[in-house]
């Protein structure tokens, strides 16, 4: 008797992948040996390929595996064993002729998978990790609140401290009126279900299944067109899925100690075209400001998608602000997770942007204590169009650096668990470096403050630094500020303490953090971004906003410095009229960006030449992937597109980009320095200053001033696939394991 199916479409068994029709499998074995065999099998023997991710970053106890190079299955003498246990029955020749199986029962740690036939064998080590993590991001932050949001997600209570709980499934549909998604009950199908035609030309009922679960203590969701009357296996995919994925990363920036909701996956633009949409709450930067944890969440969920839904042609990242930071950081440091990215209102990384935040906080405080600076002079020092940019940075994100602020942790104000330097020095510190202590490690005893001495260990190190920075140097040379203002500013701007309070002295990076920042990719240098197509979507916002146009060009400068070209990056700009809503792409431009990226990646996937991927990114670029702007309107359809490579013409005139305070101080456009190398301050550097003012400046810089012509302090090329499991500083995982 046929097995009943769950409402989600899978058979009612925890081992549904074993329900293979044996006669059909044997028929395939008999009919397709030539398709499944490698012509060189007698010479090379079998090979094992893990399809669902790197063999050393698996989680959840399973892996989708392909065996090739020998005649498949028991009929061909092939046996597959996991830790000595025969798992051959998990494999079969699938419809495309490949011999695939979902291997289950992996134990935590190392597992040996062996495929052997006729005195030939291949083996590979599969390293499995718990569903609750971690894998490579290092020790997880504590405390952690498993906030399941059950009223929204339907998730049950957590079964352990890792927030693990069974996944839940629900359905939604788009009505024929296209007035937004509505709940769908497969037992009582709605009568007004719309149809949609995917970009693969498949027409399907517009019904979407949403899976919600927990991995790595983060709530995830997966949405895809799904016929609830049909089954789905990773080797038999429903036709509504185009085998492509869009990953929406969320904005903001905060170190929450809670399981927060992911970005909404019910997106009509992508789902209607056949894309699967997936992401985790750990991919929302307003909840999680550790990009390594975000990459770990992508690794785990992408593996789950492949094992449950099937292999992915390519994955496209999307998202604004903090969402762009994650895209750039993950594409650079964990190559292969994202194949193309659509950063919107972009920043290159967290830590170089944090220099702008802290500089603005210090400048705003200085101006408040030293009246007389005009708004134009303040803007000249900050490098911005007007003074509003720094004011917005100061109001919105300077408080995120205060470790005693409970809201930063996602806790209610007054939460007794939170740090207070006097009453609770051992409490949880709600700031970025302490949230990232797995990366930086603790401060040494020589630097301990009274609260650290009271608890007997150091707070997290920080790479923040502003020593040597001659604030306003460009404005001085341009005559926009007076020599006395320049001298007074640099003598009095100060820095921040480890508790986020102002201090008269400049901030000095903690020992050992700067090499880690570069080696571990906390600064996105773009060394591997030439392998990733980028369409940078920039709603122009140079006034009353923090998302200034400058940062798109900052990343372009990094690409140019790293590779001598920026062939893989395209910048599209439209007019936002300075409103926050305006930085979100208009719907038609969103579609245009997605379709252009899709065409770009499809060309690369179809290019089988033996060329480096970076070369393919450049050669397979579609004609539509070119710098352009829409100066007349906020909608692409209403305003004429202007193609302007490099923004040297009409786009450059309509959308000038400005700078930040470090660029005014002399740093290159690429903005890679967290801490500059120093040089002695010489009289000829500041001829505009009187002897009295020069003496004040020299006294403010006893260790010298920035030499921006040299590599930053601690610089070293970043390494891909860093793991912090063995401790702060990180170690590269190295190449992905292969069978031998």
Domain extents in the chain: 16-129, 150-312, 352-519+662-707
- Residue 627: CB partners within 8 Å, gap ≥ 6? 570, 571, 572, 643, 644, 645, 646, 647, 651
List, for residues 337-357, the tens digit of each pLDDT value.
999 999 999 999 999 999 999
Ordered mean pLDDT values, 10 residues apiece, the chain (740 residues): 37 30 28 32 75 98 95 80 97 95 98 93 97 98 97 97 98 97 97 97 97 98 97 96 98 98 98 98 98 98 98 98 98 98 98 98 98 97 97 96 98 97 98 98 96 97 98 98 98 97 98 97 98 96 93 98 98 72 83 97 98 98 96 65 95 96 98 98 93 96 97 97 97 96
pLDDT of amino acid 671? 97
State how far Cα 397 lies from the chain centre.
Answer: 20
CA distance 315 to 148: 27
- Specify the fold of 16-129: Immunoglobulin-like (2.60.40)
Report the 10 Å Cβ neighbour count for 345: 30
Strand 502-503 to 495-496 pairing = antiparallel
pTM reported for the whole predicted model: 0.92
DSSP string across 408-447: GGTPPTT-TTB-BTTTBTTSBP-SHHHHTHHHH-BPPGGG
Strand 120-129 to 58-59 pairing = parallel
pLDDT of amino acid 346? 97
Report the 10 Å Cβ neighbour count for 711: 12
Give the CA-trace dihedral at 224, 226, 230, 231, to 10 degrees. 20
DSSP state of 106: P
State how far Cα 196 lies from the chain centre.
Answer: 30
List, for residues 574-608, the tens digit of each pLDDT value.
987 544 447 888 899 999 999 999 999 999 999 99
Give the CA-trace dihedral at 577, 579, 581, 587, to 10 degrees. 10
- Residue 395: CB partners within 8 Å, gap ≥ 6? none
State how far Cα 77 lies from the chain centre.
Answer: 45
pLDDT of amino acid 14? 33
Select from 499, 663, 580 the least CA-distant residue to 252: 580
Select from 647, 651, 645 the least CA-distant residue to 631: 651
**Is there a cis peptide before residue 209, judged by omega within 30 degrees of 0?**
no
């Amino acid at each position: 008797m046929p097995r009943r199916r769950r409402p989600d479409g899978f058979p009612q068994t925890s081992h549904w992948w074993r329900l293979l029709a044996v006669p059909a499998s044997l028929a395939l074995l008999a009919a397709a040996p030539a398709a499944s065999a490698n012509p060189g099998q007698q010479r090379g023997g079998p090979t094992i390929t893990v399809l669902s991710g790197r063999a050393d970053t698996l989680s959840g106890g399973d892996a989708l595996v392909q065996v090739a190079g020998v005649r498949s299955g028991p009929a061909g003498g092939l046996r597959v064993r996991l830790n000595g246990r025969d798992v051959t029955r998990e494999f079969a020749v699938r419809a495309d002729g490949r011999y695939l199986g979902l291997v289950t029962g992996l134990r935590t740690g190392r597992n040996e998978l062996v495929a052997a036939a006729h005195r030939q064998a291949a083996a590979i080590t599969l390293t499995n990790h718990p569903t609750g993590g971690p894998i490579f991001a290092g020790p997880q932050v504590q405390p952690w609140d498993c906030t399941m949001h059950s009223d929204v997600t339907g998730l049950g209570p957590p079964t352990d401290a890792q927030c693990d709980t069974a996944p839940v499934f629900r359905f939604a549909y788009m009505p024929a009126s296209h007035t937004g998604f509505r709940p769908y009950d497969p037992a009582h199908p709605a009568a007004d279900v719309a149809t949609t035609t995917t970009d693969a030309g498949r027409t399907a009922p517009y019904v979407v299944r949403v899976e919600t679960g927990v991995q790595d203590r983060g709530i995830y969701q997966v949405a895809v067109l799904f016929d609830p009357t049909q089954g789905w296996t990773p080797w038999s995919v429903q036709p509504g899925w185009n085998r492509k994925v869009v990953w929406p990363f969320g904005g903001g920036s905060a170190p929450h100690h809670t399981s927060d909701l992911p970005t909404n996956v019910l997106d009509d633009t992508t789902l209607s075209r056949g894309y699967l949409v997936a992401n985790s709450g750990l991919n929302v930067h307003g909840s999680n400001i550790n990009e390594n944890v975000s990459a770990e969440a992508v690794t785990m969920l992408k593996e789950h998608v492949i094992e449950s839904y099937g292999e992915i042609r390519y994955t496209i990242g999307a998202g604004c602000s903090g969402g762009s930071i994650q895209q750039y950081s993950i594409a650079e440091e964990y190559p292969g997770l994202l194949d193309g990215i659509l950063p919107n209102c972009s920043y290159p990384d967290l830590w170089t942007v944090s220099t702008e935040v802290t500089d603005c906080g210090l400048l705003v405080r200085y101006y408040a204590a030293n009246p007389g600076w005009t708004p134009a002079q303040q803007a000249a020092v900050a490098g911005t169009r007007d003074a509003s940019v720094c004011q917005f940075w100061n109001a919105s994100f300077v408080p995120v650096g205060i470790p005693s602020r409970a809201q930063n942790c996602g806790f209610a104000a007054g939460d007794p668990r939170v740090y207070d330097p006097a009453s609770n020095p051992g409490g949880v510190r709600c700031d970025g470096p302490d949230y990232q202590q797995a990366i930086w490690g603790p401060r040494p005893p020589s630097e301990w403050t009274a609260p650290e001495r009271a608890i007997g260990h150091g707070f997290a190190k920080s790479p923040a630094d502003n020593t040597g920075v001659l604030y306003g140097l460009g404005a001085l040379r341009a005559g926009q500020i007076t020599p006395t203002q320049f001298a007074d500013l640099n003598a009095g701007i100060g820095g921040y303490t480890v508790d986020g309070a102002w201090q008269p002295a400049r901030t000095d990076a903690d020992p050992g953090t700067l090499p880690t920042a570069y080696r571990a990719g906390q600064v996105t240098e773009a060394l591997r971004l030439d392998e990733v197509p980028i369409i940078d979507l920039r709603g122009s916002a140079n006034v009353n906003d923090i998302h200034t146009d400058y940062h798109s060009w900052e990343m372009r400068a990094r690409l140019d410095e790293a590779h001598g070209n920026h062939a893989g990056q395209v910048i599209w700009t439209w007019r936002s009229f300075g409103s926050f809503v305006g930085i979100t792409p208009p719907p038609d431009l969103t579609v245009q960006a997605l379709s252009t990226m899709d065409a770009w990646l499809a060309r690369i996937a179809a290019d089988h030449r033996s060329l480096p991927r970076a070369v393919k990114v450049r050669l397979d670029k579609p004609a539509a992937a070119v710098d352009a702007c829409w100066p007349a309107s906020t909608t692409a359809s209403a305003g004429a597109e202007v193609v302007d490579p490099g923004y040297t013409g009409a786009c450059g005139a309509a959308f000038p980009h400005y700078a930040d305070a470090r660029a005014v101080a002399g740093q290159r456009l690429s903005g890679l320095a967290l801490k500059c190398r120093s040089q002695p301050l010489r009289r000829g550097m500041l001829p505009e200053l009187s002897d009295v003012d020069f003496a004040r400046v020299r006294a403010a810089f006893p260790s010298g001033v920035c030499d921006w012509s040299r590599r930053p302090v601690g610089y070293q090329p970043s390494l891909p696939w860093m793991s912090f499991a063995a401790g702060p500083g990180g170690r590269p995982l190295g190449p992905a394991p292969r069978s031998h």
